Amino acid sequence: MTEPQPLALPTAFLNGQFVPVEEAKISPFDRGFIFGDGVYEVIPYYAGRGLRAKEHLQRLQRSMDLLDLANPYPVEAWERHIAELLKRNGGGDQAVYIQVTRGVAKRDFAPPKGLTPTAFMMSNVLARPSQALYEKGLNCVTLDDFRWGRCQVKSTALLGAVLLKHEATQMGADDCVLFRDGYLTESSASNVAIVKNGVILCPPKDNFILPGITYDLMIELAQQHGMPLEMRKVTRKEVLNADEIWLTSSTKEVIAITTLDGRPVGHASHAGKPGPLFWRMLDHFQTYKQSLQRLPAAAE
Ligand SMILES: Cc1ncc(COP(=O)(O)O)c(C=O)c1O
């Protein structure tokens, strides 16, 4: 018998109140439940210091603007509530999950005016990938990206991503690398970049990918450290012949994809292993994370 997993760390936030996570209850008429009519964010905090927390809150606002959804709190209030949540959940490294839905209403596709949004937050222990996982890398399969045309919105309507990840895991893979009309988009819950001949190639931030905060940081770090990078459309052929493939997200940070469709990624001595540019990028990333500790913690 497997032990039941806790839903999250013990304290959650619901509409201005801090409550035990098991007691956070919403109406089945919430449009988030009925339609997936809502947005979310996942913000990593390391010993209370947010990694690009402002940028996450800005993206939350952009997602809401694209759905014409009212933000229940100004940035300072979100920051205050997050700091309190981190404190109540014991500090340390936590991933804060924020969800805002359009609120409770009679079931009707057209959103009525003047609804009160539902605001929910929880947090989980943030465990970075283990050294063994960094060295092994991920095993992915390529799949056709059939999601909608507004992937830049971080929406809670995630059925496309759920089905794609389900298909990948049923095939025995860790995750998928997605293509739309022959071009690389991203993964089910991460951005993807490749390396070819020493150049990092990144798909453009259009409406077919989520503009990842970690993706932006990776791009910035590459530029800062003189690693050649091009943001442009990347073909399926280029991905299949890549020297390295990387995946970025707030919880996975940067990790290499070392097997794609059952074949090792890369060539020669690092075929099927993370490549040299990956190790350089991971190093820059960890140094950046350490530099956060010089900043005041969110709860201070
Ligand atoms: C579809 C998708 N792409 C990319 C990302 C990575 O974004 P971030 O680096 O901001 O976590 C996510 C994160 O959840 C995602 O769901």
pLDDT single digits (tens) 124-161: 999 989 999 999 999 999 999 999 999 999 999 999 99
pTM here is 0.96
Residue 98: what pLDDT?
Answer: 98
Distance CA 215, CA 52 (A): 12
Choose, from 113, 154, 205, 233, the residue flagged as catalytic: 154
Give the pLDDT mean for 258-286: 96
Give whole-number Cα distances, 88 to 49, 85, 219, in Å. 15, 5, 34
Instruction: Tell me where in the chain the CATH 3.30.470.10 domain(s) lie.
Output: 11-125
**What residues contact residue 77 under an 8 Å CB cut-off, 6+ apart?**
none
Distance CA 183, CA 163 (A): 20
Give me the architecture of the 11-125 domain, per CATH: 2-Layer Sandwich (3.30)
Look at ligand 1, atom 5, and give the residue with the nearest C-alpha: 190
**176-215, pLDDT tens digit by residue?**
999 999 999 999 999 999 999 999 999 999 999 999 999 9
For the CA of 186, the nearest atom of ligand 1: 3
Instruction: Tell me where in the chain the CATH 3.20.10.10 domain(s) lie.
Output: 131-289
Is 154 annotated as catalytic? yes
- Mean pLDDT across the chain, nearest whole number? 96
Asked whether 53 lines ligand 1 (CB < 6 A), one says no
The rounded Å distance from CA 189 to ligand 1 centre is 5
Asked whether 215 lines ligand 1 (CB < 6 A), one says yes
The rounded Å distance from CA 80 to ligand 1 centre is 24
**9-67, pLDDT tens digit by residue?**
999 999 999 999 999 999 999 999 999 999 999 999 999 999 999 999 999 999 999 99
**285-300, pLDDT tens digit by residue?**
999 999 998 888 875 4
Residue 14: what pLDDT?
Answer: 98
Look at ligand 1, atom 15, and give the residue with the nearest C-alpha: 189
Asked whether 191 lines ligand 1 (CB < 6 A), one says yes
Exposed, middle or buried: residue 84 (CB in 10 Å: 0-12, 13-18, 19+)? middle
**78-89, pLDDT tens digit by residue?**
999 999 999 999
Residue 300: what pLDDT?
Answer: 47
Residue 1: what pLDDT?
Answer: 57
Asked whether 41 lines ligand 1 (CB < 6 A), one says no
Asked whether 210 lines ligand 1 (CB < 6 A), one says yes
Q: Which residues pair with 125 in a beta bridge?
A: 94
SS3 150: coil
Q: Under CATH, which number does the domain 131-289 receive?
A: 3.20.10.10
Give the pLDDT mean for 252-274: 96
DSSP 187: -
